[in-house]
Amino acid sequence: MNKIVRNLFIFILIIAFLIAFSSSYLSLSMDNLAYVLVIGIDKGTDNNLEVSFQFSTTSKSTESGSTEKTPTVMDTVTAPSLSTAINLMDGYMGKELNLSHCKVIIFSEELAQEGISEEIYTLINDTQIRPSSNIVISKCNAKFYMEQTSPELENLISKYYEIFTNSSKYTGLKPNATIGDFFNAIICKTCEPVAILGGISTEKPENQGNNHIQENYNVKSNQTPIEGENGSENIGVATFKDDKLVGELCALETTTYLALRNRLDRFLVSIPDPDDVNSYVDIYLYPDGNTNVQVDTSTNSPYIQVKSKFTGRIYSMSNNSQYLDPEILKELSETCNKYLESVFSDYLYKTSKEFKSDINGFGRYALGNFFTTQDFDEYNWCNNYQNAFFEVKVDTSIKSSMLLTET
């Protein structure tokens, strides 16, 4: 009798647990979920947000077996907040929106200028959002940016968004700015957040027609000389002060930003040819260890010393190139040092005087100068950064060219 009662008890327990846990499993069933790939947030009317969601759909296979480009679905809802927008879209789609595969969150420039902390906090509070989701600030409407994005080399848009920041390691033209880092920087007292600068190539750069090679490094999203079918382009950095957009960095400044933050494997620079003022030499630079930063906080104007080391390989070749001559390599190294010191310095003063925003996170190097948190708080680093002075030293050692050494 005892055994029967025990078995019955176990049976009832199993049934109860099955029922209790099945509701959670059912809600997470693929049939009940709509997977969001991209969220675009624009400023709507009457203080509302215009939130666009891009969803993945199942891919169609042709009879020959080849896979066609997968169409995506995009819907937009106007709501007072992001959470309300998600809820409304749940109802509209008849499925629960799942953000666990959301790769990119796009904010329009207009909204970012007013502050996006509320949206960032809401998204971070969501268990489904990955901290590795990228943040893009679109020069145009976020919805338009999403509509125009059509990767040329990928059938799946999710695949494109998964890898589109990979090139930042070797081009230095865009940062891998994630929501995790953005949230961390909003709260941090020693740094400020950044995002990827996105846009649609609608206008050609003003200097088009000018063959000055350096101008190609001054471009940013919306103004690139690229013609293609990708639609959107992501070159540059959107810089923030707290949660508000305060400025943009062009391609060369973005490379500088990434180099100073030790987030580059290599990058290409064009330095003036020491032998011919009208021509340029393209050099691949490889960071030689981390950037050395020292911050002096003895006055209210922080004095920041930046030392970077690079090794280089000459990439561009022409007739009469003599890259086996140590003197020429030394001369090139010195020219490169001067050029980079000027670029780095201009960039640093721009962040300090123009943006008043320590996007480089130099504040963390200042922490060691204080004994207590109160001392550091009293110093008011974020405010004093605008008074900062910089000394940049670059030590480049150009080793050789690549396959060709002399022509």
Partner 1 sequence: MTKSKIGTMEAIMLVLTIIITHTISALPREILVSTKSATIINLIFVSILAILFSYLIVRLMKNFVGCDLIDISEYLGGKVFKNIVGIIFIAYFLFSSSILLRNFCESIKIIYYPMTNIIFIIAFFVLAVCSANRLDFNASLKTNLLIVPLVLASILFLFFANMNNFTPQRAFPIFGDGLFHTFVLGLGNLASFGGICFLYFLPPYLKEPEKLKKIALVSIVLSAIYLMLCVATLLFMFSFFINTNEITPLYNATRYIEFGSFFQRLESIFLLIWILAYACYLSITSKFAMNIFKKLTHIETKKPLIDIFGLLIFGIALLPKNYAISDQFETEIYPYLVLGITFCLGFSVLILASLMKKKSKKLSANTEHL
Using CB under 8 A, list all residues that contact partner 1: 13, 16-17, 20-21, 23-24, 26-27, 127, 130-132, 162-163, 180, 183-185, 187-190, 361, 364-365, 367-368, 370-376
CB of 319 to partner 1, least distance (A): 42
Two tokens at 286? 């490889």
User: Based on CB atoms, which residue is closest to partner 1, 61 or 167?
Assistant: 167
Instruction: Specify the pairing of strand 104-108 against strand 96-98.
Output: unpaired
**Angle at Cα 59 formed by Cα 58 and Cα 64, nearest 5°?**
150
User: Based on CB atoms, which residue is closest to partner 1, 162 or 346?
Assistant: 162
CB of 100 to partner 1, least distance (A): 8
CB of 24 to partner 1, least distance (A): 4
Of residues 336, 294, 292, 328, the one with CA closest to residue 311: 336
Residue 282: which H helix or E strand, with range?
strand 276-287
Of residues 318, 308, 253, the one with CA closest to residue 286: 308
User: Based on CB atoms, which residue is closest to partner 1, 91 or 131?
Assistant: 131
Cβ 261 vs Cβ 237: under 8 Å: no
Cβ 59 vs Cβ 158: under 8 Å: no
CA distance 196 to 177: 6
User: Based on CB atoms, which residue is closest to partner 1, 222 or 360?
Assistant: 360
CB of 357 to partner 1, least distance (A): 16
* Size (the chain), residues: 407
User: Based on CB atoms, which residue is closest to partner 1, 241 or 350?
Assistant: 241
User: Based on CB atoms, which residue is closest to partner 1, 45 or 371?
Assistant: 371
CB of 190 to partner 1, least distance (A): 8
Indicate left, alpha or beta for 25 from its phi (over 0: left) and psi (-120 to 50: alpha). Answer: alpha
CB of 253 to partner 1, least distance (A): 23
CA distance 397 to 330: 8
